[in-house]
Amino acid sequence: MAEKEYDYLPPGQRYASRHSTAFAARSLPQMKAMVVHADPEQVRTAGHGWDAFRADLVGGEDGGVLGMLDAAVARLMQSWQGDAAEAFLGEAERFRDRIADTAEYARYISVALRGAANALQEYKTHVDAMTPADDTPVSRARTGEDRASGVNAEDLLNADRGRLSAAEQRALEAAVVMEQLGAAYNSQGSAMGSWSRESLTAPSCPGAPGGIAPLAEVRPIPYSVSPRLAASPPRPRAAEPPIRTGAGGVVEGLKASTDAASATGRRGDAVPGVTGGVLRQDSAHGRDRTGSNAVLGAAVPIPAPGPAASQGGSGLHRGRGR
Amino acid sequence: MAVQRYQVDLDEMDLALRQLYNIIRRLENAESKARHETGLVRESLGTGFDEVYEFYAEQALVKTYMEDVAAQLRASAEELTRKMKWTRDAYEDADS
């Protein structure tokens, strides 16, 4: 398993979407079978493919297609004037906007895939390490109805703690972890589904992705799950400035400006996720144009826990029992 | 008849054309990467739970869309280059 290279959501934040499978109704062997052949590295590789695609557009020493185009147009315009030159310049500028938007789209997909890979790595590692208990699940009949109805496994686990057989407790703990994986996948899927897809024949296609920005961070395994692994904590990473989420919380790890923005000379202090982080001027109509963007809507803060609420994870959990 | 005023250096236009051809090649590379280097095996996400299929379906839609966008970008670059070449040749004809 690859070394962890991802960050955790800050305490108090969880995925925007919930899981959709009733994991609490499944046995531990069934849940282990769900992820036994899953491979986070394969998912990550697909994301790297989008990174390479994006690098062709806006990366490398020459700035990719965007940098090459800018250089060519800037030089040509020094020696070319007239109506045809103006027409060419206008067309080239529209083309460069489309390249920047496409690069931003690729960045979004890459982050979504990386987020899914990170979640899979985090949760699969834990589920793989779980071993079935050899006692009899005595209370299954009592909780079976709740489980099938899709009640949150963490709630069941906390409500029945001390009254569950070892086998049941382990199955519910696995369900808690799998619910996190399901929520992570659903959140990334919802984000991808929110991105605008302009018609291929539209002059500005693809346009800014807008919608919900994807999330590379992973929610830590909740406290309610017993630590079974001596998992290494995530490597410390260079601090990046936090980004306001717009939902009252702050998520770290996503850059506020993109290479596309810097390569295009656009403003680097604008909202991330919109055309390389910029406000775009529609010169033809003399008004500003931005894509709608629920920035980092993939993560929302958890309400303050009441006495009966389950505990959210903080990541500190990973150090317990070592 | 209106007199068209312009200033042009054909050597600079030739240089710009060569750069545009390089851009087309780079876009062809990008298009190939979008098609062939971004594939996701569904089973790599896990199996037997709904979330896998939903995530996979969304990323497949986005991938297909981006493949088409990449092809469109390349076609646009070719169109821009064609227009530039036509304009350059028109200037040359006007000079001769």
pLDDT in tens, B5-16: 788 899 999 999
Is A309 within 8 Å of A222 (Cβ atoms)? no
Q: Does B23 sit within 8 Å of A30, measured CB to CB?
A: no
Instruction: State residue B2's pLDDT score.
Output: 59
Residues A65, B48: C-beta atoms closer than 8 Å: no
Which positions ≥6 away from B1 have C-beta within 8 Å? none
pLDDT above 80: residue B21: yes
* pLDDT category of residue B79 using cuts at 50, 70 and 90: very high
CA distance A134 to chain B (A): 25
Contact status, residue A217 vs residue A8, Cβ threshold 8 Å: yes
Closest by CA to A265, choosing from A30, A32, A34, A96, is A96
Q: What is the pLDDT of residue A238?
A: 46
What pLDDT, on the 0 to 100 scale, is given for residue A4?
A: 75
Angle between helices A166-194 and B50-95 (to 10 degrees): 20
Rounded to the nearest integer, the mean pLDDT of chain B is 94
**Smallest Cα–Cα separation from A129: which of A17, A35, A9?**
A35
Is the ipTM reported for this complex over the cut 0.90?
Answer: yes
Q: How far apart are alpha carbons B66 and B74 in whole angstroms?
A: 12
CB < 8 Å from A in window 54-73 of B: 54-55, 57-59, 61-63, 65-66, 68-70, 72-73
Query: What CA–CA distance (Å, rounded) separates A8 from B58?
Result: 24
The position carrying tokens 């590692």 is A125
DSSP letter (8 states) at residue A82:
S
Contacts of A30 in chain B (CB under 8 A): 48
Question: For position A240, what pLDDT does the model report?
Answer: 44
- Tell me the C-alpha distance between B7 and B16, whole Å: 15
**pLDDT at residue A108, rounded to an integer:** 98
Beta bridge partners of A244: A250
Residue in A78, A102, A186 closest to B69 by CB: A102
Per the structure block, which two tokens stand in for A40? Answer: 């986070």
Q: Count, in order, helices (H) and strands (E) of chain A.
A: 8, 8
Q: Which residues contact A303 (CB under 8 A, 6 or more apart)?
A: none
Chain A: residue whose CA lies nearest to B70 = A102
Closest CA of chain A from B46, distance in Å: 5
Q: What is the pLDDT of residue B59?
A: 97
Q: Which residue of B has its CA nearest to A197?
A: B65
Choose among B19, B59, B65: nearest Cβ to A68.
B19
Count structural domains, chain B.
1
Please answer yes or no on whether B30 and A91 come within 8 Å at the CB atom: no
pTM comes to 0.77
Residues 6+ apart with CB under 8 A from A61: none
Tell me the nearest-neighbour CA distance from B88 into chain A, angstroms: 10
**Which residues in chain A have Cβ-Cβ distances shorter than 8 Å to B27?**
56, 65
A vs B, Cβ pairs < 8 A, gives 187
Across the interface, of B48, B55, B66, the residue whose CB is closest to A105 is B66
Name the residue in chain A with its Cα closest to that of B76.
A95
Domain ranges of chain A: 13-319
Residue A306 confidence (pLDDT) = 44
| Residue B87 lies in domain | 10-95
Burial per residue of A3-14, b for 16 or more beta-carbon CB atoms within 10 angstroms, e otherwise: ebebbbbbeebb
Tokens of B7: 């200033």
**Is residue B5 one of the residues assigned to a domain?**
no
| For B31, nearest residue in chain A (alpha carbons) | A53
Contact A182, A23 (CB under 8 A): yes
Q: Is A239 exposed, middle or buried (0-12, 13-18, 19+ CB in 10 A)?
A: exposed
Q: Give, in order, the Cα–Cα distances in Å from A159 to each of A19, A22, A43, A117.
A: 20, 17, 36, 31
* Whole-number pLDDT of residue A45: 97
Q: How far apart are CA A84 and CA B90, in angstroms?
A: 11
Q: What is the pLDDT of residue A265?
A: 39
Give Dmax over CA atoms of chain A in angstroms.
Answer: 86
Q: How would residue B50 be classed by pLDDT, with cut points 50, 70 and 90?
A: very high
Determine the 3-state secondary structure of A244 from DSSP: strand
In a domain, B1, yes or no: no
Per-residue pLDDT for chain A (322 aa), expressed as one digit of tens each?
A: 556 789 999 988 899 999 999 999 999 999 999 999 999 999 999 999 999 999 999 998 999 999 999 999 999 999 999 999 999 999 999 999 999 999 999 999 999 999 999 999 999 999 999 988 776 654 544 455 555 566 788 888 887 777 888 888 899 999 999 999 999 999 999 999 999 998 998 889 999 999 999 999 999 988 888 776 434 444 445 444 444 333 333 333 343 333 443 333 343 333 333 233 333 333 334 333 333 344 344 455 554 444 433 344 434 344 333 3
Q: String of b and e for A92-121 (b: at least 16 CB within 10 Å)?
A: beebbbbbbbbbbbbbbbbbbbbbbbbbbb
**The pLDDT of residue B95:** 79
Task: Give the residue from chain B lying closest to A42, CA to CA.
Answer: B44
Q: Does A211 touch chain B (CB under 8 A)?
A: no
**B3 assigned to some structural domain:** no
**B33 lies in a domain?**
yes
Instruction: List phi, psi (to 5°) of B67.
Output: -60, -45
Task: Please indicate whether, in this complex, the C-beta atoms of A30 and B27 are within 8 angstroms of each other.
Answer: no
The token pair at A8 is: 């955790």
Q: What is the CA angle A252-B62-A67, rounded to 5?
A: 70
CB neighbours (10 Å) of residue A291?
18
- If contacts are CB pairs under 8 Å, which of residues 15-54 in chain B contact chain A? 15-16, 19-20, 22-23, 26-27, 29-30, 33-34, 37-41, 43-52, 54
What pLDDT, on the 0 to 100 scale, is given for residue B96?
75
